[in-house]
A = this chain, B = another copy of it.
Amino acid sequence: MKIDKSLVRSIPLFDRMSDADLDKFLGHAVSRRVPAGEAVFEQGAAATHFFLLLHGRLKVTQVTEDGQQIIVRVVHPGDLFGFAKALQRSDYPGTALAVSESIALRWPTELWPQFVDRNPRLAVTAMQTIGQRLEEAHTRIREMSTQEVERRVAHAVLRLANQAGRKEGSGVRIDFPISRQDIAEMTGTTLHTVSRILSAWEGKGLVEGGRQKLIVLDINGLAALADHVKE
């Protein structure tokens, strides 16, 4: 599939790469269209490629031995993902599932070292990316350790609105299909509890819900809920 170069250029990681380098980089890439509901790679599979999301939205999930699922993170356009090999893993630690129709570029993991070599900025970006993820993970741990469910959900929704929000009417809509179950798996609770919480918020005019839909009407109100130490 032909690669939309201007799309790639719009990604910070590549905006200042020389045209020659970019061509070399993209020369090895394979573009793939992933329909909603399909996996880019599966947990436990051999890490043969690393990826860059150009368009769409993925969720990375892990399943525990006893069958419970959690959402590790959401992949947004411009994000590198699946570079387990760079971290010295031989298999993917999670499953990457398209939640809406997506387009991803793919490179064989063997190329990673030479890309990094040729383009130091990539190494820095990768380090940075992982650093951020580590920080996010710690934030999540901190929240799960110290906050009640409602605040955690508030934080999660705010984060989503930030990363995947699109203005719609008087509010900000989460720009991909997301279920209560998904939110539950991101915050470590059950869909029932999430449903109750969202219903309550809807009653207070903070959000507007719907099937696989979520619109934040009052960002500040939500932020207050998320930050406010209850008294």
- In the complex with contacts A87-B131, A87-B134, A131-B87, A141-B144 CB distance below 8 A: yes
Chain B residues with CB under 8 A of A144:
141, 144-145, 188
CB A55 to nearest CB in B, in angstroms, measures 26
Is A39 an interface residue when CB atoms closer than 8 A count as contact? no
CB A218 to nearest CB in B, in angstroms, measures 22
Using CB atoms, name the residue of chain B closest to A126. B127
Chain B residues with CB under 8 A of A131:
84, 86-89, 130
Is A128 an interface residue when CB atoms closer than 8 A count as contact? yes
Chain B residues with CB under 8 A of A146:
64, 66, 68, 70, 188
| A182-217 interface bits toward B, Cβ cutoff 8 Å, 1 = contact, 0 = none | 000100100000000000000000000000000000
Q: Could you say how many copies of this chain the assembly holds?
A: 2
Please, how many angstroms separate the alpha-carbon atoms of A188 and B138 in the complex?
12
Is A229 an interface residue when CB atoms closer than 8 A count as contact? yes
A127 in complex: contacting residue of B65, B87, B141, CB < 8 Å = B87
Interface majority SS (helix, strand, loop, mixed), chain A: helix
| A152-196 interface bits toward B, Cβ cutoff 8 Å, 1 = contact, 0 = none | 000000000000000000000000000000000100100000000
Using CB atoms, name the residue of chain B closest to A137. B137
Indicate if the CB atoms of B188 and A145 lie closer than 8 Å.
Answer: yes
A130 in complex: contacting residue of B87, B93, B124, CB < 8 Å = B87
Is A95 an interface residue when CB atoms closer than 8 A count as contact? no
Chain B residues with CB under 8 A of A86:
127, 131
- In the complex with contacts A87-B127, A87-B128, A127-B88, A70-B134 CB distance below 8 A: no
CB A165 to nearest CB in B, in angstroms, measures 24
Additional 16 contacts, C-beta under 8 A, given A65-B227, A130-B134 = A62-B138, A65-B229, A72-B141, A86-B127, A86-B131, A87-B128, A87-B130, A87-B131, A87-B132, A127-B127, A127-B130, A130-B131, A140-B141, A141-B144, A144-B145, A145-B188
